[in-house]
Amino acid sequence: MDYQLQGRTALVNAASRGIGRAIAEALAAEGARLVISSRNQEAIERTAREIAAAHRTEILPVAADVTDPGAAGHLVTVAVQRFGGLDILVNNSGGPPFGTFADFDDAAWQRAFELLLLSVVRMVRAALPHLRASGRGRIINVESSSVKEPLPGLILSNSLRAGVAGLAKTLADELAPDQVTVHNVLPGRILTDRLRDLFAASARQDGTDVDDLARAELAKGIPLGRVGEPSDVGRLVAFLCSAPASYLTGLTLAVDGGLLRGIF
């Protein structure tokens, strides 16, 4: 299937590794031009070189922290100046700290709010004029399965990511007349560095490979019998950005191997 992304411009945040990088790679493989961001300049430049070499597309790396109020405007301005417009916005960020309600004060809640929700608001606000002008704008929010089923020890994520889901559904209605579609993608158990860190200590104790241990433990209870890879998320995002997906909007889709048991 031709996704018709050649010559389209995408902005992908938190793209130096993990899910963000996999999304950038999937879009690049379809011919999209990319602006990718990360807080680490060296890491994002290395990622840009590697993806550009593999897929022969133009990629502009930009160091940015999405919790900075000026980051959204800067990223969008850079993208438009370099490529003449913006067609796709992928909102992605790292997760907040683990913990229970008693662990977090007002400052921690504020930091999580700016990371998970306010950053999305700012990015959409900055990108929206260009997405409307595109005629086929796309907004993808990379969230978490906690939107549908709260996870133990992740109260910050459970609370604030649900707000993004509500924002996206409202935006899908508001922006439909401009042919801008909006979706939430919910990764389940995806083998990223953050999950590897959870198993690193156990692996060191018995000499087991971290990836082998993580895959074995995380696969438990997943109907498809395996842990997800970042590329599983990347491929879905690329499809949602495509021309064949133009009649889809307002979806909240889990990429979890069937782990979530709810009907809706």
d(Cα 179, Cα 5) in Å, to the nearest integer? 16
Low-confidence winner among 140-144, 199-203, 222-226, 252-256 (lowest mean pLDDT): 199-203
Instruction: Give me 128's structure tokens.
Output: 């929206």
Please check the confidence at residue 185 and state whether its pLDDT lies above 80. yes
Q: Please give the model's pTM, rounded to 2 decimal places.
A: 0.94
Select from 109, 39, 36, 42 the least CA-distant residue to 68.
39
| pLDDT tens-place string over residues 130-139 | 999 999 999 9
Residues β-bridged to residue 187: 255
> 89 with 140: CB under 8 angstroms?
yes
| pLDDT tens-place string over residues 205-224 | 666 777 777 788 788 889 99
Q: What is the pLDDT of residue 223?
A: 94
The end-to-end CA distance of the chain, in Å, is 28
Select from 4, 198, 17 the least CA-distant residue to 93.
17
